[in-house]
A and B are shown apart, each in its own frame.
Chain A
Amino acid sequence: MTTAMARAARWTIRPAAAQSLGGLILGRLIQALIVALVVGVVGFAMLESLPGDAAYRIAAGRYGHDMVSAAAAEQVRAELGLDRPSWVRLLAWVGHLLTFDLGQTAVTGERVVDAIAHQLGHSVLLAALAVGLALLIATPIGVMAGLNPGGLFDRITGVAAILLRATPAFLLGVVLILLIAVRMRAAPAAGHAHGASAFLPALTLGLVLASVLTRVIRNAVVRTVSSEAFQFARHKGLSTGAALWRHGARNAAAPVVAYLGVQTALLLEGVVVVESVFAWPGIGHALTHAVFERDVTMLQGTALALGLSFVLLSFLIDLACRAIDPRTRG
């Protein structure tokens, strides 16, 4: 009983804590700033740990490998004061990042901003397809299971959800690749089905999201239908349909939308993993490449883009929660 209450309390503390709109925006702005700081510090630390002369590397990052000259390196050295103590350089580095000058990638020399703009479209497409698929799968299953809790359908989908959720996203991707490959009698190109079709990556990510979402929806429906408010609506004389529509939908939607806020982290992690597995040319894939190739500028750009998307998505969910549940408005 205590744990059940504690659990309930935990879910309500974040979404239901009443907050003014200004406070909400401020909180998310601070979060964005922290994201930039973390990314900047990581980029700086990576740079420091790389071998070779820092001024040359930074100049290469900014102007491209072909343009690096002793003069350019000296200019960087003077501008960033590379002979100053490391904490001063750290501040200068992060300060430079906050101007959103992301520089050029070490590998191709492309401007990082351009590369990200191109990748962002792919990632958004993948994420939108995945979320759409997840909702399409989870909503009917969750509602049906929730309307008859303990029934056969509920138990079967419950077990399926547990098994699916216990499968790591990349593993699900690999299994899907292998299954399709067996079906199509075609070997996947070195394990990475080359980014031709969005279907498999979107399905993988969609299934990962749906596995939890199904149970969240199911539990929200169970709680709503067994609530005293729903019972009272029936006793007032409302038909089951009318009571569900007028009192069920919105009350059940509130915790589900709040949970979507929790799921944005899962979504973004999934984007990184699934893109990497399927070589889908999005930001997540670019990030793993940048980590692997130790491409500092690209890493900063992609991590910043993903981190800020996370902040933006969380903010949109906050707004949705406020629209659905007036109690969360400060």
Chain B
Amino acid sequence: MRSFWRRFLGNPRVAIGFVWLAFVVVVAVGASVLAPGTPFAIVSKPFAPPIGEFLFGTDSLGRSLAAGLVHGARTSLLIAILATVAAVAFGTFVGSISGFYGGIVDDVLMRLTEFFQTIPSFIFAIVLVAILSPSGTSVVIAIATVSWPPIARITRGEVLTIKAREFVQAAVVVGQRDMAILVGQVLPNALSPLIVTGSLLVANAILIESALSFLGLGAPNLMSWGFQIGAGRAFLRDAWWLVTVPGTAILLTVLSINLVGEGLNDALNPRLRDL
């Protein structure tokens, strides 16, 4: 275990990603203290410059960009994490059942998974949000719905290899029940690829959420980075900071998550590093 942490945090790229993510998490948690009140409040003249009374200036209606960023961090992270947890839970469930039982169950579940995989994921997310009407919950549902198939495929693959191992066969001989074998023996050994994929899914979820908000399909009462970019894009030529600042926030956060995810992969699969 110690060697895992050493491998993980000893990687400078991971450390950088980790520092930024920690910063974002602190900001998101402390949003109400850092920027009290609603981030939609009109606090000043529109288009206040980024250096001046307000950090990062104000948008076309005179809303503080900094307050929006802080609350946007909370929205983006919360939605991304909830959606990822839902996607991983469902994907793992489908994949493990499919891999463990095989046969007709496997066929049905995998054809279902493929059905979801063939629909272009972002278009599918747009359709889902449009049908459910935009809100925090519907955005989470949409992202989770388009994100679970890869998890299901990976889990199935892992379960297929692990269930052929001797210790699983031993558990069968001992007379453990299916669920006990699956949960107690198989899944714990399939965990590391899931953790890596899951962490990368968070980054993907942030991107989908931002893109939906950019198109005006985000939760209308929640400030988010994508919303800020969408609201500012018409003014790119007059007020560059409206899109640049939240855009940079998305870039850094998604990059950090990817760095950490890769670091996790390296640390969990030490053999990969030698290749």
Question: Are A and B associated in one complex?
Answer: no
